[in-house]
């Protein structure tokens, strides 16, 4: 075995650089974090060849004095912590004091700084070798400029692992994007190969912050995101929450910051996934820009060299707070909120009278022209203005037949609309091919998938009944006998308490025979045999009853799917309007319980574009 030797400072620095300096983006991250810790309000970044040839960062922060300048490139020299207790509440982005030393061991580094407004400063240089720091005078305003040239020039093995210029620059730009999203009060300029890529001014008002987020995350995100701001028990969560309708195939638009630090944390990711699970289509990923603020002593940032990962002192409390806050924010989104988030409708809004006239015309054309409209009937020929005095009574009668509510939450009150009010989803015009409801609102045309919408309404009512333990059963006039496997019969017998809580009463009549005596009153029109088989299948897959509570939403989702109105069922206008009004009051009504959208809006501008109007 070889003898133990002490590593040279140069080699130890290069080993440390392997942890801190992975690519040009790592260099930019360390330099910008130092500038932000120095209270800079303006950061200018210039790079060449993706940052491999040159990275220049200039700030207007507090600067470094002549006495401290040589220590900037020394290992483990920092002004941010002084004793072990300081690690328990790190409030700065950097604190280890090894970034510049590591960078200088694998590149040619020059640091110029001034700590006052005299215009005179000092410069220190290092070129990848063990050397005494040489100071030379230099003209420089208050602040610091760091130049890093020829990255990995003395470690060719590391340089071979760099990607193309375009790839390296995309990683570098992502670093600046994250820092710009976490520090709105700071201006950022980025130039690549003498070309300006970003010129972000400080954003202090909400409107300016919206513009910065739109410029970095895309205008579509900000048009389909809602602001959240909530707090509890010393925790605060705020930011932008993307609507489920702009879910993405990759998790590439997820930014989460803890006390201004961009992190990737398992606790956070799990809480976000749980909050979106009821409205997100399988395989899709949510989009968000969120900020968590808490006492620095409640989070440990010293668990990873690059500080991408953190550890919460009370991880369960943080998880529950994030889940509850996001779950509530998503649940409270209504069609009115969704329409308000989107772009404002072009042109003048339609008046209720105009809506009424258009509805009447559509009903007359649909009945007389033989088109593929159904469910209009005599009601469609009545203008909405004429329907309004008796709208409540008709809608409630239609509602009782269309959406049975025995054993569920009581029917919501149907507020009568005035002449100056148009509901967010408007008024039904017709039904298309027995699948879609066409409605007219102030913005234009609303298209509703009636099965998906009714499925969400039924699902939410089942969840409310389950939470209040008021799922009422309805005895069958003639009990249903079912032939099942012995495993399914055993499962029904073993899981009888869980089935009764779901509103089912099953009796085993033989080794492979079940008798269905009672079903949930809410689902009295459902296909009972098919529903029972699906439930038994789910119960068998989930195992013992202690796991049922964890998957109860999945079971209720299956029940809701069976209990919802099917395609090709003709609906009258009052029935369609009843469904629209219920959607406006139901949580998460924008998506069915499988994550599919339930409705979409076509504005007048979009419709005009289809027909080249106004050109």
Convert the pLDDT of each residue in 119-146 to its tens digit. Answer: 899 999 887 655 567 789 999 999 999 9
> Does 338 reside within a domain?
no
Domain that holds residue 440: 347-615
> Are 452 and 374 members of one domain?
yes
Token pair for 389: 């005095």
> Does 49 reside within a domain?
yes
Mean pLDDT within 324-352:
67
> Are 191 and 224 members of one domain?
no
> Are 177 and 243 members of one domain?
no
Decide: 583 and 335 in contact? Cβ < 8 Å: yes
Q: What is the pLDDT of residue 62?
A: 92
Q: What is the pLDDT of residue 550?
A: 42
| Confidence band for 368, pLDDT divided at 50, 70 and 90 | very low
Map residue 451 onto helix, strand or coil. Answer: helix
Our measurement of the distance from residue 361's CA atom to the centroid of its chain's CA atoms, rounded to an integer in Å, reads: 41
Check whether 250 has a pLDDT greater than 60: yes
Element (H, E) at 125: strand 120-127
Mean pLDDT within 360-388:
35
pTM of the model: 0.70
Rounded Cα distance between 362 and 537, Å, is: 46
> Are 386 and 259 members of one domain?
no
Q: What is the pLDDT of residue 231?
A: 92
Higher pLDDT, 358 or 31: 31
Q: What is the pLDDT of residue 567?
A: 65
Check whether 344 has a pLDDT greater than 90: no
Map residue 269 onto helix, strand or coil. Answer: helix
Token pair for 206: 């909400």
> Are 46 and 144 members of one domain?
yes
DSSP 235: E
Check whether 513 has a pLDDT greater than 60: yes
Q: Can you give the CATH number for the domain in which 118 is found?
A: 3.30.565.10
> Are 98 and 241 members of one domain?
no
Higher pLDDT, 169 or 418: 169
- CB within 8 Å of 558: residues ≥ 6 apart: 531, 534, 535, 538
> Does 1 reside within a domain?
no
Q: What is the mean pLDDT of the chain?
A: 79
> Are 494 and 352 members of one domain?
yes
CA distances from 396 to 108, 411, 421, 577 (A): 77, 9, 20, 10
Rounded Cα distance between 383 and 354, Å, is: 10
* β-pair partners for 288: 241, 254
Q: What is the pLDDT of residue 28?
A: 95
Check whether 393 has a pLDDT greater than 90: no
The pLDDT tens digits of the residues spanning 573-603 come to 998 999 999 999 888 888 887 778 899 999 9
Angle at 111 between CA 107 and CA 115, to 5 degrees: 160
Count of C-beta atoms within a 10 Å radius of residue 437: 26
Q: What is the pLDDT of residue 105?
A: 85
> Does 478 reside within a domain?
yes
> Does 141 reside within a domain?
yes
Q: What is the pLDDT of residue 7?
A: 78
Check whether 281 has a pLDDT greater than 60: yes
Q: Can you give the CATH number for the domain in which 611 is found?
A: 3.30.1540.20
The pLDDT > 90 percentage for the chain reads 36
Token pair for 299: 């989070």
**Among positive and negative, which fits the CA dihedral 104, 109, 110, 114?**
negative
Check whether 431 has a pLDDT greater than 50: yes
The pLDDT tens digits of the residues spanning 451-481 come to 888 888 888 888 777 666 656 788 988 899 9
Map residue 278 onto helix, strand or coil. Answer: coil
> Are 274 and 372 members of one domain?
no
DSSP labels, 316-375: HHHHHHHHHHHHHHHHT--HHHHHHHSPPPSSPPPPHHHHHHHHHHHHHHHHHS--SEES
> Are 397 and 459 members of one domain?
yes
CA distances from 56 to 47, 147, 191, 390, 462 (A): 6, 4, 10, 72, 60
Q: What is the pLDDT of residue 75?
A: 75
Q: How many CA within 13 A on the CB side of residue 141?
A: 5
The pLDDT tens digits of the residues spanning 251-271 come to 889 999 999 888 888 889 889
> Does 136 reside within a domain?
yes
Rounded Cα distance between 594 and 459, Å, is: 11
Higher pLDDT, 299 or 177: 177
The pLDDT tens digits of the residues spanning 395-406 come to 444 444 544 443
Boundary residue ending a domain (305, 333, 361): 333
CA distances from 424 to 72, 459, 554, 589, 604 (A): 60, 22, 30, 13, 15
Q: Which segment of 123-127, 366-370, 492-496, 502-506 scores lowest on mean pLDDT?
A: 366-370
Boundary residue ending a domain (333, 356, 376): 333
User: What values do phi and psi take at 494, rounded to 5?
Assistant: -75, -35
End-to-end Cα separation, the chain, in angstroms: 84
> Does 2 reside within a domain?
no
Q: What is the pLDDT of residue 556?
A: 73
Number of domains, the chain: 3
**Among positive and negative, which fits the CA dihedral 583, 585, 590, 594?**
negative
> Are 305 and 173 members of one domain?
no
| Confidence band for 378, pLDDT divided at 50, 70 and 90 | very low
| Confidence band for 310, pLDDT divided at 50, 70 and 90 | confident
> Are 425 and 374 members of one domain?
yes
Burial class, 387, CB count within 10 angstroms (exposed 0-12 / middle 13-18 / buried 19+): buried
Q: What is the pLDDT of residue 342?
A: 58
> Does 550 reside within a domain?
yes
Boundary residue ending a domain (333, 368, 383): 333
Q: What is the pLDDT of residue 554?
A: 66
Rounded Cα distance between 315 and 357, Å, is: 58
Q: What is the pLDDT of residue 306?
A: 62
> Are 415 and 546 members of one domain?
yes
Q: What is the pLDDT of residue 419?
A: 43
Q: What is the pLDDT of residue 372?
A: 30
Token pair for 108: 């040619």
Q: Can you give the CATH number for the domain in which 253 is found?
A: 3.30.230.10
The pLDDT tens digits of the residues spanning 55-111 come to 999 999 999 998 888 888 877 777 776 676 666 667 777 666 678 888 888 889 999
Check whether 5 has a pLDDT greater than 90: no
The pLDDT tens digits of the residues spanning 150-205 come to 999 888 888 888 999 999 999 999 999 999 999 999 999 999 999 999 999 999 99
Higher pLDDT, 436 or 535: 436
């Amino acid at each position: 075995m070889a003898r133990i030797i002490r590593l040279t400072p140069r080699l130890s620095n290069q080993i440390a650089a392997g942890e801190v300096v992975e690519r040009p983006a790592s260099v930019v991250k360390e330099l910008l974090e130092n500038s932000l810790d120095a209270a800079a309000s303006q950061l200018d970044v210039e790079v060449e060849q993706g940052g491999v040839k040159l990275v220049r960062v200039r700030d207007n922060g507090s600067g470094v004095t002549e006495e401290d300048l040589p220590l900037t490139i020394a290992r483990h020299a920092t002004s941010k912590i002084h004793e072990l207790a300081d690690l328990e509440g790190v409030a700065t982005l950097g604190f280890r004091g090894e970034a510049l030393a590591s960078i200088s061991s694998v590149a040619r580094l020059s640091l110029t700084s001034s700590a006052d407004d005299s215009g005179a400063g000092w410069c220190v240089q290092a070129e990848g070798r063990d050397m005494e720091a040489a100071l030379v005078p230099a003209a420089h305003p208050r602040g610091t400029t760091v130049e890093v040239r020829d990255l990995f020039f003395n470690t060719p093995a590391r340089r071979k692992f760099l990607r193309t210029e375009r790839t390296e620059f995309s990683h570098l730009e992502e670093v600046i994007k994250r820092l710009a999203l976490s520090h709105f009060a700071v201006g950022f300029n980025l130039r690549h190969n003498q070309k300006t890529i970003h010129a972000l001014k400080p954003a202090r008002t909400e409107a300016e912050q919206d513009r910065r987020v739109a410029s970095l995350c895309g205008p579509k995100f900000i048009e389909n995101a809602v602001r959240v701001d909530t707090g509890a028990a010393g925790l605060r969560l705020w930011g932008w929450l993307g609507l489920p309708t702009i879910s993405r195939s990759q998790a590439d638009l997820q930014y989460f910051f803890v006390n201004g630090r961009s992190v990737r944390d398992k606790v956070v990711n799990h809480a976000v996934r749980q909050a979106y699970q009821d409205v997100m289509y399988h395989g899709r990923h949510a989009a968000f820009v969120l900020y968590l603020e808490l006492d620095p002593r409640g989070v440990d940032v010293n668990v990873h060299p690059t500080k991408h990962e953190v550890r919460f002192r009370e991880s369960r409390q943080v998880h529950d707070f994030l889940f509850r806050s996001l779950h509530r924010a998503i649940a409270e989104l209504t069609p009115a909120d969704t329409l308000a988030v989107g772009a404002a409708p072009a042109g003048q809004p339609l008046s209720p009278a105009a809506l009424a006239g258009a509805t009447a015309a559509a009903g007359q054309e649909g009945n007389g022209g033989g088109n593929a409209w159904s469910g209009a009937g005599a009601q469609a020929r009545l203008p909405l203005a004429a329907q309004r005095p008796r709208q409540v009574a008709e809608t409630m009668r239609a509602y009782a037949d269309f959406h049975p509510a025995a054993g569920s939450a009581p029917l919501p009150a149907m507020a009568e609309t005035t002449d100056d009010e148009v509901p967010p989803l408007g008024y039904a015009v017709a039904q298309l091919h027995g699948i879609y409801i066409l409605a007219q609102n102030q913005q234009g045309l609303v298209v509703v998938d009636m099965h998906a919408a009714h499925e969400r309404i039924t699902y939410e009512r089942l969840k409310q009944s389950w939470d209040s333990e008021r799922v009422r059963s309805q005895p069958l006039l003639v009990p249903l006998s079912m032939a099942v496997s012995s495993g399914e019969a055993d499962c029904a017998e073993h899981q009888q308490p869980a089935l009764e809580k779901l509103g089912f009463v099953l009796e085993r009549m033989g080794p492979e025979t079940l008798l269905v005596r009672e079903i949930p009153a809410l689902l009295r029109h459902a296909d009972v045999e098919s529903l029972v088989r699906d439930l038994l299948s789910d119960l068998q897959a989930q195992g013992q009853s202690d796991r049922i509570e964890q998957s109860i939403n999945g079971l209720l989702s299956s029940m809701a799917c069976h209990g919802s109105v099917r395609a090709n069922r003709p609906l009258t206008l009052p029935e369609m309007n009843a469904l629209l009004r219920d959607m406006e009051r139901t949580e998460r009504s924008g998506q069915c319980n499988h994550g599919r959208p339930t409705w979409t809006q076509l504005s007048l501008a979009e419709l005009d574009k289809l027909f080249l109007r106004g050109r």
